[in-house]
Amino acid sequence: MLAVLTAFFVVLSRWYTATMLLLSIIAIIKTTHMRFTTHNSFFYALVLLLTTVFNGFLTSLPVVTYNPAFLSGLRISTIPLEDYIFGLLLIYTVITLYTTHRNTAKT
């Protein structure tokens, strides 16, 4: 599904959107083999909640604005889809790298 959306946004010349979706696909594929503990799941849920609250606040004021030429137009509340995915991927990558490093160090 994400691959189809990525191709769709490439056709529309929405490169930023396509890149975020492609990175999401890679992150999902890379982490399907990882075991997530309750501890990790709690932090992912916390990050999701805080990202939604603070990013929603900043985009609703509008403290942060975006050039519509680079966005798909899809929003989660007031948050552009691309910004939402980008923020979550940053945190997701750090937590995943930390978890992988920690698990490797134990062996």
75 SS3 class: strand
Residue 11 pLDDT class (50, 70, 90 cuts): low
**CA 43, 100, 15, 8 torsion-angle sign:** negative
| Rounded average pLDDT over 45-52 | 87
* pLDDT tens per residue across span 56-75: 999 999 888 888 887 888 89
Sequence ranges of the domains in the chain: 2-106
Largest alpha-carbon pair distance within the chain? 49
Residue 54 pLDDT class (50, 70, 90 cuts): very high
Provide the terminal-to-terminal Cα distance of the chain, rounded to the nearest Å. 36
More confident residue, 45 or 10: 45
This model's pTM is above 0.85: no
Q: CA-CA distance, 22 to 88, in Å (whole number)?
A: 14
| Residue 3, both tokens | 């691959």
Judge whether residue 37 has pLDDT over 70. no
CA–CA distances in Å: residue 37 to residues 26, 42, 105, 107: 21, 9, 17, 18
Q: CA-CA distance, 15 to 72, in Å (whole number)?
A: 10
